[in-house]
Amino acid sequence: MLGQWQLRAAFAARLSRMYGREVPAYATLVDVSREVNEDVLRARGADAERLGTISRVTAERHGAIRVGTPEELRQAARVFGALGMRPVGFYDLRETAASALPIVSTAFRPVAEDELARSPFRVFTSLLTVSDPRFFDADLRARLTAFLAGRELFGPELLALADRAEAERELPDADAERFLELAVRAFELSTEPIDGQWYAALERVSAVAADIGGVRSTHINHLTPRVLDIDELYRRMTERGIEMIDTIQGPPRWTGPDVLLRQTSFRALAEPRALRAPDGSVSRGALRVRFGEVEARGIALTREGRALYDRLLTLVDEQAAHHITADRTAADRAAVARSVWTRHFPPTEHGLAAAGLGFFTYHAVPDRPADGSRPPTGLGGLLDGGWLRAEPIVYEDFLPRSAAGIFQSNLSEAGSRNSGREGSAYDADRLSGAMCRDVLDPFTLYERQRDRSLAQIPRALRPQGAS
Ligand code: OOG
Ligand code: NI
């Protein structure tokens, strides 16, 4: 029998092998990430594992996929449900970027701490907003809807096995093997010729729309390893001659604690794809849609911490707009960000915890002062007095602005958007309805994890023998 976490770990590993064959630069990225992680571990020792054991971090991946219809999203949710992954967070990228991004997204991931520790695999999943008139006029929408209705991303055998795995939380070996085979195949790049005219018509609106609605199947867009020093990784990839995008998204490099998520990517590579012309002839073309991305994860921020993060991003934008000349934008922006951070962000984990900006779990220290003195009542006093130790909770989610930056930096054309029209409403409830499963709120998940640890404290601090 394979339980859900074993299915999830096996799926992630097989997907990684497949993507390494499809996109060899990804394999390089994985190698360099592993080297950087080993070097960081050697240099920093146990401290390097503060935000996850080296075995978790080395195996950790997130993937990105894109689907066209609510029905396809529901089916994807069944496949991920089989792997113990639930939809968490809602990301509306339509307004975030200069380029046209006609999508809304969620991320499928395990939510329980022990499940995350066993295999934290997650998939950023985007749904094309076909009914948004800013991107698709009535004619294109009708053609797109008809095209999407005529394709099948996930076959009945795969979905039946998925439902069984989700209901029984495990599959017998032979069924597990079949399920994994079909699930990985569903995300393989298709060799079926692409209708060149149709693809181009969608590309005029958005390259992302073409990647989703211009082909008859879906594919993994990227698979992202986790690295402990993303600046060092960036340097080493550049040294190897791999062209990276010009920035690292997310918080700047600085001397304080790592928070949230930092990400960067290498540019989409031209991949050979068969294209069909109107006369039916098929030729070898090339498309640039798939890329490599890498991430470094930090401490999850509370709602207040996240609001501060968002304010600082705006502050960095404003100051950068003042100070930066056209040529050295990326480096200058990073310098501005670092100085804004230094002025406004707590420089230590303790400061993050004390200000209620970061998520931690709290644990009684076994050899706490044993002189019979009574512990203080407040969390701050307990921490300062050495009664409690705070362990950071790792951020398991994504950032809308970074995601938009990742999408956008890999688009060569801006596409088009008719901003004069009213956008159609897509929100977390609409996605929940489409999937028949609730999109979970990431803050609530972190709060619960913290609160569960706090609930243990009074008992753990009670003097021995007292009742
Ligand atoms: C998803 C882009 C966003 C991330 O890590 O923020 C993303 C996509 O390109 O489909 O993967
Ligand atoms: Ni990604």
| pLDDT tens track for 199-239 | 999 999 999 999 999 999 999 999 999 999 999 999 999 99
Query: What residue numbers bound the domain in which 49 lies?
Result: 2-297+397-436
Whose Cα sits closest to atom 1 in ligand 1?
64
Which of these ranges, 22-36, 85-99, 289-303, 371-385, has the smallest mean pLDDT? 371-385
Residues near 422 by beta carbon (within 8 Å), at least 6 away in sequence = 133, 134
For residue 17, name the pLDDT band (cuts at 50, 70, 90): very high
What backbone phi and psi angles, to 5 degrees, belong to 346?
A: -55, 135
Which amino acid does the sequence have at 134?
Answer: R
Whose Cα sits closest to atom 9 in ligand 1?
407
In a domain, 245, yes or no: yes
Whose Cα sits closest to atom 5 in ligand 1?
403
For residue 317, name the pLDDT band (cuts at 50, 70, 90): confident
In a domain, 461, yes or no: no
Identify the nearest ligand to the CA of 406 by its number.
Answer: 1
In a domain, 417, yes or no: yes
Atom of ligand 1 nearest to the CA of 295: 5
Query: Does residue 301 carry a pLDDT above 80?
Result: yes
Number of domains in the chain: 1
Residue 408 confidence (pLDDT): 81
Ligand 2 centroid, distance to 120 Cα (angstroms): 14
Atom of ligand 1 nearest to the CA of 398: 6
> 334 or 328: which carries more pLDDT confidence?
334
In a domain, 210, yes or no: yes
In a domain, 29, yes or no: yes
Residue 414 confidence (pLDDT): 74
Identify the nearest ligand to the CA of 291 by its number.
Answer: 1
In a domain, 230, yes or no: yes
Residue 410 confidence (pLDDT): 74
Query: Would you mind telling me the total number of residues written for the chain in this entry?
Result: 467
First vs last C-alpha separation in the chain: 45
Whose Cα sits closest to atom 10 in ligand 1?
64
Identify the nearest ligand to the CA of 223 by its number.
Answer: 2
**Residue 373 Cα distances to 33, 253, 380, 389, 455, angstroms:** 48, 42, 17, 18, 22
Ligand 1 centroid, distance to 328 Cα (angstroms): 26
Q: Which residues line ligand 1 (CB under 6 A)?
A: 64, 66, 124, 126, 221, 263, 293, 398, 402-403, 406-407
Percent of the chain with pLDDT over 90: 75
Atom of ligand 1 nearest to the CA of 66: 10
Query: Does residue 29 carry a pLDDT above 80?
Result: yes
Query: Does residue 326 carry a pLDDT above 60?
Result: no
Ligand 2 centroid, distance to 374 Cα (angstroms): 49
Q: Write down the mean pLDDT value for the chain.
A: 92
> 287 or 419: which carries more pLDDT confidence?
287
Whose Cα sits closest to atom 4 in ligand 1?
403
pTM comes to 0.95
Ligand 1 centroid, distance to 222 Cα (angstroms): 8
Ligand 2 centroid, distance to 124 Cα (angstroms): 7
In a domain, 315, yes or no: no
> 333 or 195: which carries more pLDDT confidence?
195
For residue 327, name the pLDDT band (cuts at 50, 70, 90): low
CATH number at residue 181: 3.10.180.80
Q: Is the CB of residue 79 less than 8 Å from the CB of residue 429?
A: no
Short-list 67, 146, 74, CA closest to 102: 67
Residues near 31 by beta carbon (within 8 Å), at least 6 away in sequence = none
Query: How large is the average pLDDT for residues 138-167?
Result: 97
Pair of tokens at residue 384 = 């300062």
Whose Cα sits closest to atom 7 in ligand 1?
403
Query: Does residue 137 carry a pLDDT above 50?
Result: yes
In a domain, 84, yes or no: yes
Q: Is the CB of residue 148 less than 8 Å from the CB of residue 130?
A: yes
For residue 467, name the pLDDT band (cuts at 50, 70, 90): very low
Short-list 296, 288, 241, CA closest to 264: 296
Which amino acid does the sequence have at 93?
Answer: L
Ligand 2 centroid, distance to 293 Cα (angstroms): 6
Ligand 1 centroid, distance to 248 Cα (angstroms): 14
